[in-house]
A and B are shown apart, each in its own frame.
Chain A
């Protein structure tokens, strides 16, 4: 029983790592090594289905309405989307962890204020808030990263606060205080190491939300502007020609699915591992 459970957990982790490593290799190696230009196409080779050879060039995933190679565009698009999501996630986790630790450590009105900000943040659907901010600031990659990062902090703050409340009660925190350590020193040296683990797990589980959110904004045309490809842009552009070229929508969606399943399996496995360690 225990043996099979362990095996099941490990096969999940193995699948997750295979998916994520494959996706990362794909989005690094294709832009680097694949010779075709993702931004410029061959007007005489539009809407070629996957595995078409035009002249002496092979298009493994076909071409789009401008004759651009989908493999090249998918490679660059995955890289751009994944890059945006990772930087945004980093902003969220740093901001959320800092505010959560401050709320949990100081308590009182600071805590109440930060937690109400969390409630307010979570009350507005992310996509609506992001569309509002992007439409005010103008669509660009920098604005998208900042807005995605600044709107994702709430979950991290809530969890960091909960952990900080537990850690705060431990005896060695009292001891550090008695030794005259400043609040900031205690938070960074003694509280932070205790919550980095749970925050990393949460980050893994939050990445799928960000991947889909970034793709949705791109799909609606309010993300990174064309001709630059992102996973959402590719699907959004392919949507209008879905009648004649469904591969333009199919492959970017499969890539999103692979990334999301990879992150979800990895996150679940990390949660299970953390739980079994505790028990």
Chain B
């Protein structure tokens, strides 16, 4: 019951957050005063700008405009792309699959490897292996994703000629973007799992298990990992925003036809309806993912479930 009430309040908070993001995204265009001037090409005549302003409804009271924006957004209508004259939502959904493939593959390999490395480091703590894993995770967090991506291209595409330097469509195309994007995440998960496991391994029930003569690995797998998961799962949601940010840069470098590239191109082309759609969508993914994290948290932590 307590768990349900907790989840319900989190869901309401999520709705409030989405409402706030919609305000942010809508009013950002009015920061310079006139969204029509912002959206039109710099060499447009005053007449063209005035006609555009009228056509886009920028002459209406601002509250009416926001109401229209919100009502549209709730129906999945975020206006038309100025560049492609097509619904921004369509452009977004077309690119969704590519970004999901990239983000989920990066998440998958880095989580699995991160759990493994973190567990090894925790069990063999203060050993040379622990030190080596620590160095790897420090380096992984130290370099920007775009730099790592360029280094991978130099190594695997230019020197070794093993992998295509950009493009989309085959497993070979996925390897480098996924590696570049997952590296930071791998470091974060490894560090988290290590510290969380070390803490859990100091608990009384683990000592009991040890006293029963179980091997260290058995204790980790059977007893400690579940509890050590709690902080790891809680922080997954937080990392998601940075993962999406990283995906944006990765897609640019590898010419990956996803939402990140759509966003950067839209920003460069002053195609603001598309930019608004991407920001709203990213926030929605973040809010939904964090809600799922809360569900997982309730499930992992019986103290809240009751």
Residues of A within 8 A of B (CB): 4, 116-117, 119-120, 122-129, 131-133, 135-137, 208, 212, 215-216, 219-222, 232, 235, 239, 242-243, 246, 249-250, 252-253, 256-257, 260-261, 264-265
The minimal Cβ–Cβ distance linking B293 to chain A, given in whole angstroms, is 13
Extra contacts besides A123-B241, A128-B245 (15): CB < 8 Å: A122-B286, A123-B21, A123-B287, A124-B241, A125-B242, A126-B241, A127-B248, A131-B264, A131-B275, A135-B268, A136-B38, A216-B245, A239-B253, A242-B153, A243-B158
For residue A117, which residues in chain B have a CB less than 8 angstroms away from its CB? 20
Inter-chain contact B141/A264, CB cutoff 8 Å? yes
The segment from B26-34, B55-63, B200-208 found at the interface with A is B26-34
Fill in one digit per residue for B143-159: 1 if any A CB lies within 8 Å of its CB, else 0.
11111001101100010
For residue A260, which residues in chain B have a CB less than 8 angstroms away from its CB? 141-143
The segment from B46-54, B80-88, B228-236, B276-284 found at the interface with A is B276-284
Inter-chain contact A242/B28, CB cutoff 8 Å? no
Inter-chain contact A253/B24, CB cutoff 8 Å? no
Give 6 closest A-B pairs by Cβ, nearest first. Answer: A120-B20, A253-B147, A127-B245, A125-B245, A260-B142, A257-B142
Q: Please give the number of chain B residues whose Cβ is less than 8 angstroms from any Cβ of chain A in the complex.
A: 49
For residue A212, which residues in chain B have a CB less than 8 angstroms away from its CB? 144
Instruction: Give Cα distance in the complex from A225 to B5, angstroms.
Output: 51
Q: What is the count of residue pairs linking A and B with beta-carbon distances less than 8 angstroms?
A: 137
Inter-chain contact A219/B146, CB cutoff 8 Å? yes
For residue B17, which residues in chain A have a CB less than 8 angstroms away from its CB? 116, 119-120, 123
Of the residues A124, A127, A235, A264, contact of B150 by C-beta under 8 Å: A235
**A116-B13, A122-B238, A126-B245 known; A220+B144 contact, CB < 8 A:** no
Cβ < 8 Å to A, chain B residues 261-297: 263-264, 267-268, 270, 275, 278-279, 282-283, 286-287
Inter-chain contact B249/A127, CB cutoff 8 Å? yes
Instruction: Give Cα distance in the complex from A253 to B25, angstroms.
Output: 33
The minimal Cβ–Cβ distance linking B185 to chain A, given in whole angstroms, is 14
Inter-chain contact B144/A137, CB cutoff 8 Å? no
The minimal Cβ–Cβ distance linking B197 to chain A, given in whole angstroms, is 17
Instruction: Give Cα distance in the complex from A129 to B31, angstroms.
Output: 14
Beta-carbon nearest neighbor of B263 in chain A: A128
Inter-chain contact B283/A216, CB cutoff 8 Å? no
Of the residues B24, B32, B249, contact of A219 by C-beta under 8 Å: B249
Beta-carbon nearest neighbor of B23 in chain A: A120
For residue A125, which residues in chain B have a CB less than 8 angstroms away from its CB? 241-242, 244-245, 248, 282, 286
**A125-B241, A125-B282 known; A136+B263 contact, CB < 8 A:** no
Which one of B142, B264, B268 has the highest number of Cβ atoms from chain A below 10 Å of its Cβ? B142
Inter-chain contact B263/A131, CB cutoff 8 Å? yes
Inter-chain contact A235/B263, CB cutoff 8 Å? no
For residue A250, which residues in chain B have a CB less than 8 angstroms away from its CB? 151
Instruction: Give Cα distance in the complex from A95 to B120, angstroms.
Output: 41
Beta-carbon nearest neighbor of B131 in chain A: A8
Instruction: Give Cα distance in the complex from A116 to B253, angstroms.
Output: 35
Beta-carbon nearest neighbor of A256 in chain B: B144
Inter-chain contact B142/A235, CB cutoff 8 Å? no
Instruction: Give Cα distance in the complex from A127 to B238, angstroms.
Output: 15
For residue B8, which residues in chain A have a CB less than 8 angstroms away from its CB? none
For residue B138, which residues in chain A have a CB less than 8 angstroms away from its CB? 261, 264-265
Of the residues A127, A133, A257, contact of B31 by C-beta under 8 Å: A133
Beta-carbon nearest neighbor of B238 in chain A: A122
Instruction: Give Cα distance in the complex from A235 to B268, angstroms.
Output: 19
For residue B143, which residues in chain A have a CB less than 8 angstroms away from its CB? 253, 256-257, 260
Instruction: Give Cα distance in the complex from A221 to B275, angstroms.
Output: 17
* B252 beta carbon closer than 8 Å to chain A: yes
Beta-carbon nearest neighbor of A133 in chain B: B28
* B139 beta carbon closer than 8 Å to chain A: yes
For residue A249, which residues in chain B have a CB less than 8 angstroms away from its CB? 147, 150-151, 154
Q: What are 30 pairs between A and B in contact, CB < 8 Å? A: A116-B16, A117-B20, A119-B13, A120-B17, A122-B238, A123-B17, A123-B18, A123-B241, A125-B286, A128-B282, A132-B267, A135-B268, A135-B270, A136-B28, A136-B32, A137-B31, A137-B32, A216-B145, A219-B146, A220-B252, A239-B253, A242-B150, A249-B147, A250-B151, A253-B143, A253-B144, A257-B142, A261-B139, A264-B138, A264-B141
For residue B13, which residues in chain A have a CB less than 8 angstroms away from its CB? 116, 119
Inter-chain contact B249/A216, CB cutoff 8 Å? yes
Inter-chain contact B275/A135, CB cutoff 8 Å? yes
Instruction: Give Cα distance in the complex from A223 to B287, angstroms.
Output: 28
Which one of B21, B144, B242, B286 has the highest number of Cβ atoms from chain A below 10 Å of its Cβ? B144
Beta-carbon nearest neighbor of B247 in chain A: A125
The minimal Cβ–Cβ distance linking B1 to chain A, given in whole angstroms, is 24
